[in-house]
Amino acid sequence: MSASTVTIMVSSAGRRGELLQCFRASAEELGISLNLLACDLEPEWSAACQLADHYFAVPRADSEEYIPVLLSLCTGNGVDLLVPTIDDELLSLSKNLQRFHADGIWVSVGEPAFVQMARNKLATAHALTALDIATPATFSLAEVFDDLQGHQWPMIVKPNHGSAGRLISVVNSAAELPTIEPEPLIVQELLSGPEYTINMFFDRSGKATTVVPHRRVRTRAGEVEKGVTERHKALCDIGWKLGEAFEGVRGVICFQAIVTENGPVVFEINARFGGGYPLAHAAGAEFARWLLEEAAGRKLTASDDWRDGVRMLRYDAAIFDQI
């Protein structure tokens, strides 16, 4: 039986105001009464939380208290669908899927094995190589120090579990490699060419339904600022291949690639909504609508019918209130 009211919790909402607006627009199109909740560490300082119907404070996503508090908030507020948005919360949510499902809460995240692979850039490189998908040569920092002459410079250094462009640097020689490792670091082949994000939707059975590449024309703080959808055949083919190969994937993921002169090279997989998702939504790939349809028990209308050449030009906006 289909529902006319759906309650969604967007966790670690932060600056994801556009994502909340996508859910509101889709709910209105579907005729669904949407109760849109959000939570964050400091929700009073989260722009997205101000756009929700109600917001809540939660502990840090990497703390032991996070899951019990979030589960209590979801059960206490009748949440039907939980949408996580940052990497730090994905694995703990994935490992606790059954606790949420037991209370009728669907969490839009994949199974632990997939999430663990996506959160680990070395593991991602190994998984892609096993699938015969081009990926940059990737090494731990220790492996590079063990063989300083066996690499071509420059290379990129980044956290093995990093996201949003955090702590990424280009090193032009072995002498520039960091000697202190505050967290596990990887060293990766430096690629040249246009960069793409490919957004994908998987239904609740784990079937991939949609592959939407967009070219990252300009980025800011690791997030696309200017972009355009492109039905790039080679990238779409990779997406469908990943969709067939990966098990335990649910909801929304994205992967990133650089199209070199020799073809696309995939360098990252994110087991969550990407920051550039609103571009796919505007092009007709309405992942928010499809998650709502599933949550409401409606017929799923997910397809790969989206518009090529849709451009996104982001600008800064502000929310004002009285404290």
Per-domain residue ranges for the chain? 5-109, 137-189
Q: What is the pLDDT of residue 149?
A: 79
In the chain, the percentage of residues whose pLDDT exceeds 70 is 98
pLDDT at residue number 25? 98
pLDDT band at 162 (very low <50, low <70, confident <90, very high): low
Mean pLDDT over 208-220 rounds to 96
Q: 112: which residues sit within 8 A by CB, 6+ positions away?
A: 91, 94, 95, 248
Mean pLDDT on 79-104: 97
Instruction: Give 114-160 pLDDT, tens digit per residue.
Output: 999 999 999 999 999 999 999 999 999 989 888 887 788 899 999 98
d(CA 23, CA 290): 10
Nearest to 127 by CA among 141, 113, 140: 113
Give the integer Cα–Cα distance in Å for 38 and 44.
Answer: 11
How far apart (Å, rounded) are the C-alpha atoms in residues 173 and 49? 44
Q: What would the 3-class secondary structure string for 266-295 be?
A: EEEEECCCCCCHHHHHHCCCCHHHHHHHHH
CA angle 255, 264, 272 (to 5 degrees): 0
Would you give the distance in Å from CA 241 to the centre of its chain? 19
- Spell out where the chain has E strands: 5-10, 33-40, 54-57, 81-83, 106-107, 138-140, 155-159, 169-171, 185-189, 195-202, 208-220, 223-229, 251-260, 263-270, 311-313
The pLDDT value given to residue 166:
65
* Residue 205: burial class (beta carbons within 10 Å; 0-12, 13-18, 19+): exposed
CATH of domain 5-109: 3.40.50.20
Phi and psi at residue 158, to the nearest 5°: -150, 160
Q: In the prediction, which pLDDT does 35 show? A: 98
The answer on pLDDT for 1 being more than 70 is no
What pLDDT score does 165 carry? 58
Element (H, E) at 48: helix 47-51
Q: Which of 231, 253, 243, 239 is nearest to 306 (CA)?
A: 231
Instruction: Examine the pLDDT at 164 and tell me if it is beyond 60.
Output: no
Q: What is the average pLDDT value for the chain, to the nearest integer?
A: 94
CA angle 108, 246, 255 (to 5 degrees): 70
Rounded mean pLDDT, 168-192: 89
- Look at the block and give the residue holding tokens 């955090």: 166
- Cα 220 to Cα 213: distance, rounded to the nearest angstrom: 19
Taking the C-alpha atoms of residue 207 and residue 125, their distance in angstroms, rounded to an integer, is 23
User: Which SS3 state, helix, strand or coil, does residue 215 take?
Assistant: strand
List CB contacts of 280: < 8 A, sequence separation 6 or more. 199, 212, 214, 229, 287, 306
pLDDT in tens, 225-236: 999 999 999 999
State residue 43 phi and psi, 5-degree precision: -60, -25
CB atoms within 10 A of CB 86: 17
The per-residue pLDDT for range 15-46, each reduced to its tens digit, is 999 999 999 999 999 999 999 999 999 999 99
Contact 278, 192 (CB under 8 A): no
Taking residues 161-185, what's their average pLDDT? 81
CB neighbourhood size of 212 (10 A): 30
